[in-house]
Amino acid sequence: MESFCRRCGCTSSHYNRSRMMYVCDMCGTPVRESGNDQALMQFDRTFATASEHLEAGNWDQAISLISPLTSQYPTEKKLYVVILRAATQDFSDFEMQNEIRKNSASDAWDKLIRLRGVTPAMREYRKRGYEIKRDYFLDRKFSMMLWLFAASFCSFVAGILGKQGHYFWMVLFVLGFGGSLYMTFKCRPIYILKQLLKKAPDYNSNPFK
């Protein structure tokens, strides 16, 4: 088969089965065929359009354009990066309430781990998500401690009022004690403490699992 090598000028090439491409007979440089050029051109155009949708904040359109390309180019890291950026709204959505986007983000993250393509932006997103979650549980812990303090205060005052014979007010503070204790347990103290005692995760790990 004749084709032109841009490196050495050789006009002959052959199909290399191990590399799955046509290469120059003289130097082994991959030789582009017209069909491959068309495919690469289409890839670049689709990727450029998806990137424009990404910049415009059209998250679902970017995902729908890029997703089919992953079947044709399964090891192309930048495709999964675009899907991940779109699914997370450019690494700004930490709640991920949209299950479809969450699944897309999880799959893209796993692919990038396998392809060793985890980026600094991904690690920063993982770290920030962990910090937001930790701050949430710290706030829950503070609320729990306030209710626990209120329960202790009501119990203490109810004891004093009982000794002094002020039974009506004693009953009110006993009710306050019960209500405060209920709110303390409603905060799920054991769960909160378990979450706060967890070590910081590996920031390369998938945050959607």
Enclosing H/E stretch for 15: strand 13-16
Q: Report how many domains make up the chain.
A: 3
Q: Is-above-0.85 flag for pTM?
A: no
Same domain for 159 and 189?
yes
Is 179 a domain residue?
yes
Tell me if 50 is assigned to some domain. yes
For residue range 109-125, list pLDDT tens digits in order.
Answer: 999 999 999 999 999 99
Confidence band, pLDDT 50/70/90 cuts, at residue 4: confident
Check whether residue 110 and residue 69 sit in a common domain. Answer: yes
Residue 1: predicted pLDDT = 45
Q: Closest by alpha carbon to 87, among 53, 50, 62, 70? A: 62
Alpha carbons 183 and 151: distance in angstroms, whole number: 9
Kindly report, residue by residue over 148-206, the tens digit of the pLDDT: 999 999 999 999 999 998 999 999 999 999 999 999 999 999 999 999 998 999 999 99
